[in-house]
Amino acid sequence: MRFGSRMNIAPVFNALLVCALAAVLWKYIKLQDHVFVLEEELVLTRQTQELSQVRIDYQAALQDLVQDGTKMVCAGKMHTDRICRFESLCYSTEAEEFIFFHSNSSVMLPNLGSRRFQPALLDLSSVEDHNTQYFNFVELPAASLKFMPKPVFVPDVALILNRFNPDNLMHVFHDDLLPIFYTMQQFPDLDQEARLFFMEGFGEGLHFELYKLLSGKQPLVREQLKTLGRLLCFTKSYVGLSKITTWYQYGFVQPQGPKANILVSGNEIRQFAKFVTEKLNVSSEGTPGEEYIVVFSRTINRIILNEAELILALAREFQMKTITVSIEDHTFSDIVSLISNASMLVSMHGAQLAMSLFLPRGATVVELFPYAINPEHYTPYKTLCTLPGMDLQYVAWTNTEKENTVTYPDRPWDQGGIAHLDKAEQDRILKSSEVPRHLCCRNPEWLFRIYQDTEVNIASLIQVVRQAVKTRPGPKRQAWTSGLYPGKVRGAKCQASVQGASEAKLSVSWQIPWNLKYLKVREVKYEVWIQEQGENTYVPYTVSHPNHTFSDNIKPFTNYLVWIRCIFNKNLLGPFADVLLCST
């Protein structure tokens, strides 16, 4: 902890420097000016001493950088799963490039050589292998620092990343907030004192307040770094984001859909939701126990044209208070507070539905789709709601009546306009009753259809929702109590008996998995696979007790391999125990 004294001076800075950005950094030249200001304002010698310490630290930091250069150690085999930890990673705000300074003490692991550019060292956002999101650095000898601008050191532990699309709530939650939250949990020094650096180049964006919840320090965006200096050096930093919580791929290389290998459960999503709820200081709205429906409305486009009628119908059908919220008219705290106690959330397809993750267990999500949109092809919110342990009921409704849709062919292309297309293509789109699967992000037919407004056929919607609510599973227990897997069976033994020239029996017994004695499990079964040695097929059996005598297909004077595993509640398959060799 060479720079331990930084901790102590931080409060002094915060109190005295008007500029919030300067409060985090200390800069050699600026500091000299400030020392006088500070000395005037603070007569306290202790603090003055601390400040003089800063200058010594600066010199020491600079000397360290020149001597030691940059150190990098990464986790992950590929650029798509790599996160790197750096000491003394620098950034030129003029060149807009990161710099790795080489010296005799620098470390670069992995040392990829030119493979570092094939295609990149790592993904800077959680969106996989997107060529606008790659991270790399340029290399220089540490000695070249002599000829470069005086570095400004960033004392905070930094998490350096790209946000993918900070103006879209789905992207905010799925690509940024959840991955940042869990990347921070992966590395203990990324705590509340850490600072986030957003390098994608956007301004703060519409939802900056949400990003601010993740650490105690104001995040900085790329543009702001310029005001801090020409050469920034991050004392300690992590670069990249964990993708472990993402559940959706947006269709850059194949049509959009759930990720092939989802690794997150509702449990982690809900813990993140709890963190956000607490940080927002959200109080639970309404009377406890009172059930209500939230309609999340869009006000700019993809509108429900008969929303008032819809609200009345929902209230009447379910005998519940029904309220509307929108991003335009409500604060985040209000929305989270309302959603977190709602029984049902009804909304047009759109990013606002990412906020389903704040719903309580057992709630129902009703997603409405405009005409010609097949809900099966666009499932970011369905996938979220149906993650194991999310315990949400999901139902989709589509407008199937052309007369109930309002199109906007003359709007700009990115709002679904098609006037720029040739006439034949326009006609084809207008006649089509379903948008074929397509890649992201500029398919004009998709944009045309997804930006329609809809007059919802109330009767058909209510019918769909009624059906869903009727089949809703009862209130579930915590996911982890019902989703635990058996351990290996233990101490397996076999005993053979030969009955005759062609008849034999194999008695196999074992002990229950070690964790079973601590669990209440509805149904415990065992699967036993018997394979004749040297054959590549096996015969599977399912038995209820930890011993069984097999006689079918068992031959005398033969070697058998026996594989045993335990199964809880039909679908929780445990691991196979070490193979057992049995000879008749």
Residue ranges in contact with ligand UDP by CB under 6 A = 168-170, 298-301, 327, 350-352
Beta bridge partners of 140: 101
Q: How far is the CB of 298 from ligand UDP (least distance, A)?
A: 3
Q: Look at the alpha carbons of 526, 532, 538, 539 in this order and tell me if their dihedral is positive or negative.
A: negative
Q: Look at the alpha carbons of 545, 549, 552, 554 in this order and tell me if their dihedral is positive or negative.
A: positive
Q: Which is nearer to ligand UDP, 335 or 508 (CB)?
A: 335
Contact (CB, 8 A) for 88 and 235: yes
Q: How far is the CB of 395 from ligand UDP (least distance, A)?
A: 19
Q: Which is nearer to ligand UDP, 296 or 526 (CB)?
A: 296
93: helix, strand or coil: coil
Contact (CB, 8 A) for 496 and 506: yes
Helices (H), 69-148: none
What are the tokens at 80? 């798509």
Contact (CB, 8 A) for 261 and 237: no
Q: How far is the CB of 17 from ligand UDP (least distance, A)?
A: 35
Q: How far is the CB of 530 from ligand UDP (least distance, A)?
A: 53
Q: How far is the CB of 165 from ligand UDP (least distance, A)?
A: 8
What are the tokens at 466? 């009624």
Q: What is the largest CA-CA distance in the chain?
A: 105
Q: Which is nearer to ligand UDP, 219 or 350 (CB)?
A: 350
Q: Report d(CA 245, CA 354) in Å as an integer.
A: 14
Contact (CB, 8 A) for 388 and 482: no
Q: Report d(CA 151, CA 231) in Å as an integer.
A: 5
Q: How far is the CB of 421 from ligand UDP (least distance, A)?
A: 20
Q: How far is the CB of 28 from ligand UDP (least distance, A)?
A: 42
Q: Which is nearer to ligand UDP, 229 or 350 (CB)?
A: 350
Q: Which is nearer to ligand UDP, 248 or 292 (CB)?
A: 248
294: helix, strand or coil: strand
Q: How far is the CB of 456 from ligand UDP (least distance, A)?
A: 16
Contact (CB, 8 A) for 156 and 217: yes
Q: How far is the CB of 388 from ligand UDP (least distance, A)?
A: 25
Q: Which is nearer to ligand UDP, 328 or 422 (CB)?
A: 328
Q: Which is nearer to ligand UDP, 301 or 507 (CB)?
A: 301
Q: Which is nearer to ligand UDP, 87 or 453 (CB)?
A: 453
Strands 231-239 and 152-161: parallel
**Termini Cα distance of the chain:** 66
Q: Report d(CA 522, CA 157) in Å as an integer.
A: 48
Q: How far is the CB of 251 from ligand UDP (least distance, A)?
A: 13
114: helix, strand or coil: helix
Contact (CB, 8 A) for 165 and 198: no
Q: Which is nearer to ligand UDP, 167 or 523 (CB)?
A: 167
- DSSP H or E segment with residue 231: strand 231-239
Q: Which is nearer to ligand UDP, 154 or 357 (CB)?
A: 357
Q: Which is nearer to ligand UDP, 54 or 327 (CB)?
A: 327
Q: How far is the CB of 350 from ligand UDP (least distance, A)?
A: 3
What are the tokens at 107? 């470390």
Strands 393-398 and 364-369: parallel
